[in-house]
Amino acid sequence: MVRFIAGSIAFAAALAGAAALSPAYIYKFDASNAAGVDGSIRVKYAGKDSSTATITAKLDFSGVDKAAIQAFDGNCTEAVTSYKWHIHTKWNSTLTSDAFKQCSNAATDNHFDPLRACGPASEFIAEPACKAKSLTYACSATNYTANPLVCEKGDLSGKFGAFSVKETTTVSGKWTDKHFPLVSKGSPTWSIVLHAVCGTQAPRIACAVMQKQQNGYKEVQSEASTTDNDGKKQSEQRTDGYTVGEQKSKRCAKH
């Protein structure tokens, strides 16, 4: 019994050490206050000083009220076909996830962009040089693979693709980013904002603030064991150009 207890303590200590060496964070969306979006986006670093991170997303958009989106943005008259996602630099809500006005530019600011890749929604877009550079911004999975400097650090949909809801309202994916923002560069005010793409419009409809997972290693490892196959297939989108939901639909059509 003593040996078993000692072994259990050693195992727990090993997990705690692994968690410290592999920091993990979660952006959790609660359907009750995040415009009907439910689920999470998790980030697990390869190490505390590593820029390599695994991003795992599991989101359910079935509870989103399309009428509420149109009421919020009268220009969003077409069906929502996908959701873009980005890391934004501010958080002003008292909740850990929120919607609409609480995800606005005033509340969450723009995309995290420390190296000034300068997309149209860069945190530095007010600078004349960044504004001029934004006219030729061309972040895509293919371009990012060839040159990581073409994408804002926070432009996740540019790097990995938007969440497509053309065929399904639930999406999942797993990606490895070798150039993710370092843990030391992170901020408790970071948030992930979801934009509903409806025609040429993309209003911000839901957002969630970054939270550290105290037992992140155990939780993320457990989830990864059930999503390895999906994760491997989703990573293929970086070369074939399909968004998350479309890639899954394309696979199903082949079988």
- pLDDT values of the chain reduced to their tens digit, one per residue, 255 residues: 545 444 444 444 444 454 558 999 999 999 999 999 999 999 999 999 999 999 999 999 999 999 999 999 999 999 999 999 999 999 999 999 999 999 999 999 999 999 999 999 999 999 999 999 999 999 999 999 999 999 999 999 999 999 999 999 999 999 999 999 999 999 999 999 999 999 999 999 999 999 999 765 444 333 333 333 333 444 333 323 334 444 444 444 444
Domain hosting 153: range is 2-254
pLDDT of residue 229: 31
CA distances from 181 to 31, 113, 141, 177 (A): 28, 10, 17, 9
Q: For position 128, which CATH number holds?
A: 2.60.40.200
- How many angstroms separate the CA atoms of 69 and 79, rounded? 10
Contact between 76 and 196 (Cβ < 8 Å): yes
- How many angstroms separate the CA atoms of 18 and 104, rounded? 37
Domains held by the chain: number: 1
Contact between 111 and 122 (Cβ < 8 Å): yes
Helix axes 216-235, 244-254, angle to 10 degrees: 60
Contact between 72 and 100 (Cβ < 8 Å): yes
Helix (H, G, I), strand (E, B) or coil at 65: coil
Q: What is the pTM of this model?
A: 0.79
pLDDT of residue 26: 98
- How many angstroms separate the CA atoms of 164 and 33, rounded? 22
